[in-house]
């Protein structure tokens, strides 16, 4: 099985990069499941219903969110109506929607996608993600009642992401991080078979400060104030992780970062 997980989409240029690369990649690489983090897709802040369905039309199977979940007023109704749009699973149960979903592939494999939020430096406070996964994995066991488990962890600190990867090694198929918008050079299959990368990076313009116009953020650091933040509008780089999972074991055999177009252009296919 091939799984493609796209990093945080930032603004219009980020959306354009997904439109440019995703349909061809899905076809060329025979990808079974596509997951896209859309936490910054609507002008850098959250997601709208219209944009969500644009991603589904492009080939996304699941959309994940993060700390900007509530930045657009449409998010609540979207969570109530659309099961493929996930809020962090370890948020309070009073929040509508769900943070997990079971997807059946064309080859009849059952994939569980879990979206989690970190504990450090986040405006939304959720349950400890380590404890949450322990409870969830009492219900789901790879190759007993689920074929593949993918965890997308939207978190600030590299240490928390790396710790969760090792904590879940061998119990889930994939753990990848999002949120910091910078791709990390540590994509690896861990000792017990879980594919891991600390942060996928963003689908956004890298001639920026994590996807936003440079000067406003520079002014904030230099002066303590600045103009309203807005997404950079140059050509975006498409950042994603491509994971191969053994169909018999449900564990990963390979993980490869895809970094295409824009300022970075590291990958060639």
**Which is nearest to 242 in space by CA: 83, 7, 11, 41?**
7
HEC string for 144-190: CCECEEEEEEECCCHHHHHHHHHHHECCECEEEEECCCCCCCCCEEC
Q: What is the DSSP letter of 247?
A: T
Q: What is the DSSP letter of 194?
A: -
Determine which one of 68, 115, 179, 213 is catalytic.
Answer: 68
Q: Is 166 a catalytic residue?
A: no
Tokens representing residue 147 in the block: 């074929």
Q: Cα–Cα distance between 57 and 145 in angstroms, integer?
A: 30
HEC string for 59-76: CCCEEECCCCCCCCCCHH
Rounded to 5 degrees, what angle do the CA atoms 20, 184, 44 make? 50
- Which residues are catalytic, by number? 68
């Amino acid at each position: 099985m091939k799984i493609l997980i796209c990093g945080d989409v930032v603004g219009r240029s980020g959306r354009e990069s997904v439109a440019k690369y995703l349909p061809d990649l899905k076809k060329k690489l025979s990808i079974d499941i596509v997951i896209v983090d859309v936490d910054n897709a609507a002008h850098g802040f959250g997601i709208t219903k219209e944009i969500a369905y644009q991603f589904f039309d492009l080939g996304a199977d699941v959309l994940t969110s993060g700390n900007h979940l509530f930045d657009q007023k449409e998010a609540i109704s979207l969570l109530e109506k659309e099961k493929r749009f996930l809020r962090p699973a370890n948020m309070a149960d009073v929040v509508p929607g769900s943070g997990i979903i079971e997807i059946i592939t064309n080859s009849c494999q059952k994939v569980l996608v879990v979206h989690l939020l970190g504990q450090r430096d986040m405006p939304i406070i959720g349950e400890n993600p380590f404890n949450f996964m322990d409870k969830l994995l009492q219900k789901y066991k790879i190759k007993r009642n689920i074929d593949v488990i993918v965890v997308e962890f939207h978190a600030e600190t590299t240490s928390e992401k790396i710790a969760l990867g090792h904590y879940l090694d061998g119990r889930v198929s994939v753990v990848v991080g999002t949120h910091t918008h910078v791709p990390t050079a540590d994509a690896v299959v861990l000792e017990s078979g879980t594919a891991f990368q600390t942060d996928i990076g963003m689908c956004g313009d890298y001639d920026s400060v994590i996807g936003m116009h440079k000067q406003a953020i520079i002014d904030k650091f230099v002066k303590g104030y600045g103009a309203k933040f807005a997404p950079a509008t140059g050509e975006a780089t498409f950042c994603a992780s491509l994971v191969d999972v053994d169909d018999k074991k449900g564990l990963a055999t390979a993980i490869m970062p895809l970094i295409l177009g824009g300022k970075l252009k590291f990958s060639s296919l």
